Structure 1
Amino acid sequence: MQADGILGNLTLAELFPDTKLPRKLDDPSLVWFKEAQRLLGTREHPGVGSNPEIIEWVKDMKTLDYKSDDIPWCGLFVGHCISSTLDREPLPTRVLSARAWGAFGIATKPTPGAVMVFWRKTRDSGLGHVGFYAGEDADAYRILGGNQSDSVSLAWVAKSRFIAARWPATVSPPVPVEVTVARREPLSWKEA
C-alpha cells in the first residue's frame, strides 16, 4: 500500500482483517464525494451575474480561466471536489470538458464516489456530462453532479449514455460495489 493520508478500505482491511468493509455512499474515506454531497443544492444564478461560490471553485485549479456559470460547469464541479480534498491528484488538462474526465485517474467499475462520464446529445457530438456515482437501477445511474438542471443535484442518467468510470490515482483502488436505488424521477437529458 502507498501512503495517501486517507483511512480507506485497504488500510482498514489490514488493521481489521476479519471485518467486511463494503464501500457505501456514506464511506468517510470518499472525501471528494463528501465534498460533493456538502454542495447539494448549490445553484447557478439565472440571467446576468454568476453564483460567487461556483466562481470560487476555480481557485482550487489555479490555471483555469472561468468567469461565468453560464458556461457548462459539471467538470468544474468535479474538479473542485477532487482538487479541494485530494491535493496531490492530477486533474485533466481540460477540466471543463466532461469527456476529458474519461482519461482521469484509473479505470474502475461504477462504484460509490467514482467519476462517471457520459455522452450528451449524441455519442459522436464530443459533448458530455460528468459527475459522481451515487447508485443505480436496472436502466440508469444516479449521478451526484453539477449543472444538472442548473444546480448540484442528484439526477438519473441512462446507462446507454455511459462512457467511463474513473477513480483518483492517488487513492487506493476501490473494491467496486453496486448500490441499488429505487428511481422515482425521470431520466435526465438537461445537464448543461
Structure 2
Amino acid sequence: MAKHGYTIEQLMELAGLSVAASIASEYPKGRVVICVGPGNNGGDGLVAARHLNHFGYQPCLYYPVQPTKDLYTRLLLQCQAHGIAVVDDLADEVNKCDIVVDAIFGFSFKGTVRAPYDETLSILRGIDKPIISIDVPSGWDVELGNPQGVGLSPDMLVSLTAPKLCANHFAGRFHYLGGRFVPPDLARDLDIPQYPDSSQCVRLL
C-alpha cells in the first residue's frame, strides 16, 4: 500500500480501528485481554485496544516482550495514557476477562513458535473464552491454516485488506473484513465486498 501513499502508521490505525469495530459488532462491552506480539500484528492490537477503550470496553494488554521500535513504543504510550494497563499474569487475566484478542503473529509468521509465545499459545488453547484473531490466527500457516493443530481456534477472525488463504480453514462463528483503505482498482482485483455506509468492517461469515 506504500505505493498508494499510505504510511505504516495510517494502515495500522485503520486496521486496529476495524478490529475494534468488528468486535463491537458482535460482543457486548466487558473485559478484554489483548495479547500483543512483537510485530505489526501486535501494533494492530495496540490500536484496537485504544479504540475498544473509547467504545466502552475494559481492555488490558499482555505484552511479554516490551517494544524497542519507536512505532510500537508510541502506541503503547497512547494506551497507557488512556489508563490501559499492561498485565503480567496471562493465566489469571483470561479467567477474569470476557474475550481475548489474539494480536501475536500475523501473515509473515513462519516456523516454530518460540518462547515466550509458545507458553502464551498454550494458555490460550486451554481457555473457554472467545478469541478474536487479527488477520491470521497465531500459530497458523498463512496458506495452509492449522494442519498441525498448534495454532489457536478463534471464535472470530478479522481479516485485514483481504482474506488470506488460511481463512478458508476458519471454523469459528464470525469472519469480518477490515481495513477500509484499499483503492478501487485493487479492491476489484481482490474481489473485496462493498463496505456498508460508514462502517469500518464488513461481515463475511
Normalised by the size of structure 1, how large is the TM-score? 0.29
Give the number of the structure whose residues are more often helix, by fraction: 2
